[in-house]
């Protein structure tokens, strides 16, 4: 039988920087339809991992490098997710991959509101990888919010990691809320429509550029809290 340590070591070997486990009992408050067991009936543990998102992209004078790196991070995390799922399956373990971005099924076109099949930041909190800040992003003590997340559901019963014991935000800070050009943030959630209309640009050449990441960039804890 594969051990917890073997799984974590393999995830790091595949290119992730951090990895944690969250038992399904930690998802009792998940909205109906978005619980791990709604995706995989036999799920017992959510394996959550993340890789560092290169922060230098935030200082470029154009958003193209950031957009390029974002796409590479999607590819990187999805490759780790795919590989881990395949290897667990080969070892006789039930495993279902969670896409790190798209596709997802839920889309409300009126509100331009999408929802991942599993919210990775909620899963990461439950696997001890950090806490959510007022910008609604996961903040890890060492990597801040500059992380891209991934997850695999498994029917293996693995011991859950300790949840983070630090606070994500600096007391009194609301820089991200005040700076958001779309006024999309209120400290607990996000108006997706407002964010989408300020952060996505469709170029005449048919490409897409992520125009805004200010809630990420402006955060004093974007690269860690210690
Ligand atoms: C849809 C989506 C978006 C949407 C909505 C963002 C959002 N905050 O939810 C838009 C297009 C606006 C967006 C923008 C960005 N995104 Co985005 N996005 C996603 C995606 C694909 C799904 C997120 C989702 O389901 N949101 C909908 C729900 C969860 O949000 P909500 O309505 O506020 O949820 C409420 C309830 O539904 C409930 N809930 C929902 N699920 C659960 C589960 C549990 C257990 C509980 C208790 C509650 C609960 O709690 C909320 C509060 O009421 C995820 C990948 C993934 N699968 O998680 C990436 C993801 C969240 N995005 C990410 C990033 C980096 C960004 C951007 C920085 C991109 C950019 N522009 O550069 C911005 C940041 C904007 C911001 N401040 O959030 C990263 C975040 C990494 C991190 N450090 O946290 C993710 C995790 C991708 C990844 N694989 O790393 N994104
Ligand atoms: S990415 Fe930009 S528009 Fe979207 S929530 Fe963050 S600051 Fe606001
Ligand atoms: S900018 Fe301030 S309020 Fe926003 S997430 Fe960072 S520490 Fe929290």
**13, 91, 81: which is closest to 46 by C-alpha?**
81
* DSSP code at position 115: E
Taking only the tens place, the pLDDT of each residue in 136-166 is 999 999 999 999 999 999 999 999 999 999 9
Largest CA distance in the chain: 53
pLDDT at 37 over 80: yes
The backbone torsions φ and ψ at residue 223, rounded to the nearest 5 degrees and listed phi first, read -115, 25
pLDDT at site 152: 98
**Which pair of tokens denotes residue 95?**
């495993």
User: Does residue 1 register a pLDDT over 90?
Assistant: no
Task: Please classify residue 53 by burial: count the beta carbons closer than 10 Å to its beta carbon, then call 0-12 exposed, 13-18 middle and 19+ buried.
Answer: buried
- C-alpha–C-alpha distance, residues 87 and 64, integer Å: 35
Q: How many CB atoms lie within 10 A of CB 198?
A: 16
Write the pLDDT tens digit of every residue in 163-222: 999 999 999 999 999 999 999 999 999 999 999 999 999 888 878 899 999 999 999 999
Which residue minimizes the CA distance to atom 4 of ligand 2? 195
| Cα–Cα distance, 70 to 211 (Å, whole number) | 12
Say how far residue 123 (Cα) sits from the centre of its chain. Answer: 8
Q: Is the pLDDT of residue 226 over 90?
A: no
The atom of ligand 3 lying closest to the CA of 134 is 5
Atom of ligand 2 nearest to the CA of 199: 3
**What predicted TM-score, i.e. pTM, was given to this entire model?**
0.97
pLDDT tens, 68-84?
A: 999 999 999 999 999 99
Q: What is the CATH number of the domain that holds 153?
A: 3.40.109
All residues at 6 or more sequence positions from 10 whose CB lies less than 8 Å from its CB, including other chains:
84, 87
Domain of 36 in residue numbering reads as 4-217
CA–CA gap between residue 225 and residue 142 (Å, rounded): 7
Distance CA 44, CA 156 (A): 6
Ligand 2 neighbourhood includes 22 CB (under 6 angstroms): no
What is the whole-number distance in angstroms between the Cα of residue 184 and the centre of ligand 3?
14
Residue 59 CB coordination number (10 Å)? 9
202 in any annotated domain: yes
Determine the distance separating the centroid of ligand 3 and the alpha carbon of 174, expressed in angstroms: 6
Task: Tally the domains of the chain.
Answer: 1
Q: Pocket around ligand 1: residues whose beta carbon is below 6 Å from it?
A: 27, 29-31, 34, 77, 100-101, 104, 114-116, 118-122, 135-138, 145, 147-149, 189-190, 192, 195-196, 199, 210, 212-213, 215-216
- Protein residue closest via CA to atom 6 of ligand 2: 215
Q: Which ligand is nearest to the CA of 214?
A: 2
Ligand 1: which residue has its CA nearest to atom 70?
213
The answer as to whether 224 is a domain residue is no
Q: Is the CB of 174 under 6 A from ligand 3?
A: yes
Average pLDDT over the chain, rounded to whole?
96
């Amino acid at each position: 039988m594969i051990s917890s340590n073997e799984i974590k070591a393999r995830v790091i070997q595949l290119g992730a920087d951090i990895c944690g486990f969250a038992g399904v009992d930690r998802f009792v408050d998940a909205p109906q339809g978005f619980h791990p067991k709604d995706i995989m009936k036999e799920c017992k543990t959510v394996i959550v991992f993340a890789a560092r998102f290169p922060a230098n992209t935030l200082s470029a004078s154009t958003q193209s490098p950031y957009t390029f790196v974002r796409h590479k991070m999607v590819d990187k995390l999805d490759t780790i997710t795919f590989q881990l799922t395949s290897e667990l399956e080969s070892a006789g373990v039930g495993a279902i991959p969670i896409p790190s971005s798209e596709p997802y099924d839920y889309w409300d076109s009126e509100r331009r509101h999408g929802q991942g099949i599993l919210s990775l930041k909620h899963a990461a909190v439950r696997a001890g990888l950090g806490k959510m800040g007022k910008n609604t992003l996961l903040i890890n003590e060492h990597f801040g919010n500059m992380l891209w997340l991934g997850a695999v559901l498994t029917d293996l019963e693995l011991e859950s990691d300790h949840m983070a014991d630090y606070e994500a935000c600096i007391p009194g800070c609301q820089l991200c809320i005040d700076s958001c050009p779309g006024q999309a943030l209120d400290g607990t959630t996000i108006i997706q429509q407002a964010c989408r209309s300020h952060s996505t640009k469709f170029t005449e050449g048919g490409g897409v550029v992520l125009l805004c990441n200010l809630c990420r960039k402006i955060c004093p804890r974007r690269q860690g809290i210690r």
